[in-house]
């Protein structure tokens, strides 16, 4: 009996492989930008936590930093799945040395990041990836509130 549907075999190239759409370069670049932003935030929030005036504030900043680490890992996984390559993160923003200035910078960055992630989520067709960026945007908004509170 002949099976009426084609069977996918990853070791056999089909003619349709030649017609696959290349990955959206802007999307890939924006995901890499998000990875760099998270990487920079992870490093900066460590410094902010070290300078925190109280133990409660230090703990909250470290909790925010854990969220940023999770975002970094999720975005890196997505980038690797889309490109077949691991991202090489770079520091895109230096962390101000003074505590108050670093909090103000973190607040502003978190607010801008919310908009960036929501815009990115709007362009993404894959629902699971879209949800990752929507959730990250919600986290960033929460972080902004904390930084404003501090």
Closest by CA position to 32, among listed 120, 135, 114 = 120
Contacts of 98 (CB under 8 A, 6+ apart): none
Q: What's the pLDDT tens digit per position in 92-135? A: 889 999 999 999 999 999 999 999 999 999 999 999 999 999 99
Could you give the CA distance from residue 115 to residue 141 in angstroms, rounded to a whole number? 9
pTM over 0.85, yes/no: no
Q: What's the pLDDT tens digit per position in 17-73? A: 443 445 688 999 999 999 999 999 999 999 999 999 999 999 999 999 999 999 999
Contacts of 47 (CB under 8 A, 6+ apart): 95, 102
């Amino acid at each position: 009996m002949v099976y009426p549907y084609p069977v996918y075999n990853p070791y056999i190239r089909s003619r349709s492989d030649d017609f696959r759409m290349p990955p959206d370069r802007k999307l890939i670049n924006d995901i890499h930008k998000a990875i760099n932003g998270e990487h920079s935030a992870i490093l900066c929030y460590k410094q902010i936590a070290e300078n925190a005036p109280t133990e409660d504030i230090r703990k909250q900043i470290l909790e925010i930093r854990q969220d940023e680490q999770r975002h970094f890992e999720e975005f890196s996984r997505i980038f690797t799945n889309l490109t077949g390559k691991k991202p090489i993160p770079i520091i895109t923003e230096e962390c101000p040395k003074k505590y108050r200035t670093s909090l103000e910078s973190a607040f502003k960055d978190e607010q801008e990041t919310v908009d960036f992630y929501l815009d990115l989520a709007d362009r993404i067709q894959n629902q699971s990836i879209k949800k990752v960026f929507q959730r990250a945007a919600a986290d960033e908004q929460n972080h902004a509130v904390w930084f404003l509170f501090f």
